[in-house]
Amino acid sequence: MSSADWMAWIGRTELVEDEICLAQALAAAATLEPPSGPPTVGSPLPPLWHWFYFLPRAPQSQLSSDGHPQRGGFIPPIPYPRRMFAGARIRFHHPLLIGQPARREGVIRNITQKSGRSGPLAFVTVGYQIYQHDTLCIEEEQDIVYREPGPPLPAPTVSELAPVPDAISRTVIPDTRLLFRFSALTFNAHRIHYDRPYAQQEEGYPGLVVHGPLVAVLLMELARHHISRPITGFSFRSQAPLFDLAPFRLLARIGDGRVELEAQGPDGVTALSATAELGVV
């Protein structure tokens, strides 16, 4: 199938219904350990925790060798084997309430092809709207990147990171238990997050890859537990992978109306940058 044929997927839609069940929120809380304690039925779902719902439940026989569902349904059958959740832009209009049903409406908004250092790239932009009782709660636009395999990546250099006086910081140890739990929370069978021989030998990574959405959620957690104002928007962009080989650092700089967020690898290089927009109390 040529790239021109992929364009037929633009405008394709998907409807997924799910209950914002308490069990999944409790599993997320056990993994993330928010200071606010475990959620309860009727309480608002914390921002970004909607990623733990509306999950793709492809049958085992329909998984690709890398663990992702086979393409060609809602997502176009782009042949490039490497897939990355590269970024997103999200608006929080109303909180989702735990214990209530909800629906997510998705649409393929755009598909573009470019050339990168590792070869051709395909960018798929997917829009989502999440409703609860016909009230629009969340709008999201995701950027998914597909690419050819590149050369093996070296392990990052571990350096002593200088303190950042104007930022709130947290050091995260990305051990295999955390990566496994987040894969389970998102029903994500991508083998780069738990299968070390596959990650190293097949995809050329020096270790297990930390999920980009996990890093984004950890940054959101850092922000929301140091502010009193509601978060009305969030955007992030992945810039480099993080691995389970060494701790990484989260930084939050609280400004007027927004929080600038950054995840730094053990070498001090920015791996993911994000912005949380604040509303009024």
| 51-71: pLDDT as tens digits | 999 998 889 999 989 998 888
Nearest CA-CA partner of 124 in 196, 179, 74, 171: 74
Residues 168 and 253 in one domain: yes
The answer to whether 212 touches 235, Cβ cutoff 8 Å, is: no
Q: What pLDDT is recorded for position 75?
A: 84
Q: Is the Cβ–Cβ distance between 106 and 16 less than 8 Å?
A: yes
Q: Is the dihedral of CA 51, 52, 58, 61 positive or negative?
A: positive
Instruction: Verify that 156 and 70 share a domain, yes or no.
Output: no
Domain count within the chain:
2
User: Residues in the chain with pLDDT < 50?
Assistant: none
In this prediction, residue 136 carries a pLDDT of 98
- Note whether 163 and 92 are same-domain residues: no
Q: Which of 131, 150, 169 is the last residue of a domain?
A: 150
Alpha carbon distance 106, 113 (integer Å): 21
Element (H, E) at 279: none
144 and 199 assigned to the same domain: no
166/75 same-domain check: no
Is residue 1 domain-shared with residue 120, that is, in the same domain?
yes
The pLDDT value given to residue 3: 62
pLDDT score, position 78: 87
Domain boundary among 150, 165, 186: 150
Question: Same domain, yes or no, for 250 and 182?
Answer: yes
144-200 pLDDT tens trace: 999 888 889 999 899 999 999 999 999 999 999 999 999 999 999 999 999 999 999
Domain boundary among 126, 150, 174: 150
d(CA 262, CA 90): 17
248-254 and 231-238: which strand pairing? unpaired
Q: At 139, which CATH number?
A: 3.10.129.10
Q: Are residues 60 and 187 in the same domain?
A: no
Domain that holds residue 171: 152-281
183 residue type, one letter: S
Single out the residue of 226, 221, 280, 218 nearest to residue 254, CA to CA. Answer: 226
